[in-house]
Amino acid sequence: MGPSVGADSVPAAAAPSASRPRIILNRFIFRGMLFSMGSIAVGMSLVLRNERVVWRFAKAQARNLARLCGVRVHVRGVEHLGAGPYVFAPNHQSHFDIVALLGYLPGNNRFAAKTELFREPVLGMVLRRMGMIPIDREDAANAIERMNDFSAGGRSAIIFPEGSRSRDGRLLPFKKGAFVTAIRAGMPIVPVVCKGSQKIMPKGGYLSIVPGDVEIVILPPLPTTGLGYADRDELAERVRALIAAELSRAA
């Protein structure tokens, strides 16, 4: 996340496409919905104890958040997906990728997130109750074990192979965890391309959301049946090349 700025500050890149009051309003909408809808989701999980109902609620609220902030999310490639489960491997341009993928990527999916986020008082509780997957970057073996346990439950995982969001929009080197997980679990890996989200949450703005368009492109799944641990680098390079090629096309 970029450095914090004052409540009245708006990144310069946002000025041509949206009014300053609108961007400031979006900041409060974003914060308010994260806290209120997250708290409601936690309450629902404790009372109903029905994971699917809570997940549908979370997906609906992510779509509502996008609409309220004036963001239109377009999805291509849904026809490539079957019943799953999959390991989804999206690029990571901004924090809005999470909202867009949560709301609009089909299926019963969960995000892998760094363990530090689970230590946050409110966010950590939401992540745990929503069944997100804590990943310790300093303990690769434990991270892989967690992912293997998760995949046995029949849900799909969303793992950003870059590890963190790109600061300038260029595709970062891929870490191998997503590909090792897919290979060991025998799950197809699905390259997913997020376009336009960097303009929606530009660098230099603290939770500043600029109204506009985001596109999610779902590429055909790549089977991992028959692959072994030694194939992880080649698989990662193949997925990265496919995402890079799609990013090079006009959104």
Q: To which residue do tokens 């790109």 refer?
A: 166
* Residue 169, both tokens: 């929009």
- The per-residue b/e assignment along 143-179, b for 16 or more CB within 10 angstroms, e otherwise, is bbebbeebbeeebbbbbbbbbebeeeeebbebbbbbb
Q: What is the pLDDT of residues 7-29, one digit of tens each?
A: 333 444 444 445 788 888 888 88
Q: Is the link from the previous residue into 134 a cis peptide, with omega within 30 of 0?
A: no
Return the CATH superfamily for domain 18-247. Answer: Glycerol-3-phosphate (1)-acyltransferase (3.40.1130.10)
pLDDT tens-digit readout, 216-246 = 999 999 999 999 999 999 999 999 999 999 9
Q: Is the pTM of this model over 0.85?
A: no
Q: CA–CA distance from 247 to each of 82, 194, 242 (Å)?
A: 24, 8, 9
